[in-house]
Amino acid sequence: MIRFLVFISIIFSLCAQAQRIDPRWYYNVNVGIIIPDDDLQLNEAQIYDLRIGKSLNKDWSYEFELFTDNYDFDIDYGLKHHGFMLNFLNINNEPLWRPYFLMGGGFIYHNSPTESGINPVFNIGVGGSWYFFGDNIRLRAEAVSRLDLNNTDLPGQDGFGDGVFTLGLTIPIGN
């Protein structure tokens, strides 16, 4: 009987320590800016993205991302990107603001006045989210380094990596 009570108390203590995983899907809408290569002007490009994701366990989530952006280069050049990515997030659920590390890959379509094409794209970054409305909607901020394998000679670009900074809302789907 004592062994049974010890076993039950251990089980209850382990259950109390285990974090509840939110089984719901979520969507995330972001807007932000892109800093192409090493150019520090903030008026160069805007990005808009929509993500749909789900938790795998208490530490990992995955999400599908659709994005579009428009580069200006202060000369009304008109470079546009559209893309699809699969991201994996390693989330620290301990602090109230839920910091995370993000990595992902996918494809990016570029369209400029001189050329267009599809290339692989990879990203790595950090971010965090905070409860914004009650315990459902979260404010999300993110800084990502995006590397696309487009090797064209577009104006204003001397490399292929861009800094992407976004702010958005994460909203769970369902109850």
pLDDT digit string, tens, across residues 119-157: 899 999 999 999 887 778 999 999 999 988 776 665 555
Residue 50 has pLDDT above 90, yes or no: yes
As for how many domains the chain has, the answer is 1
Residue 167: the pLDDT is: 96
Residue range of the domain that includes 129: 25-172
Provide the whole-model pTM: 0.79
Q: Residue 14 — pLDDT band, cuts 50, 70, 90?
A: very low
pLDDT digit string, tens, across residues 64-118: 999 998 876 666 667 788 999 999 999 998 877 899 999 999 999 988 777 788 8
Q: Are 106 and 129 in contact (CB under 8 A)?
A: no
Whether residue 4 is contained in a domain is answered as: no
Residue 110: the pLDDT is: 84
* Rounded-to-integer distance, Cα 162 and Cα 69, Å: 12
CATH of the domain at 80: 2.40.160.20
Residue 94: the pLDDT is: 80
Whether residue 97 is contained in a domain is answered as: yes
Residue 168 has pLDDT above 90, yes or no: yes
Whether residue 116 is contained in a domain is answered as: yes
Whether residue 36 is contained in a domain is answered as: yes
Residue 101: the pLDDT is: 96
Residue 1: the pLDDT is: 54
Residue 13: the pLDDT is: 45
Residue 8: the pLDDT is: 47
Whether residue 9 is contained in a domain is answered as: no
* Rounded-to-integer distance, Cα 77 and Cα 81, Å: 13
Whether residue 19 is contained in a domain is answered as: no
Comparing CA positions, the residue from 18, 114, 102 lying closest to residue 65 is: 102
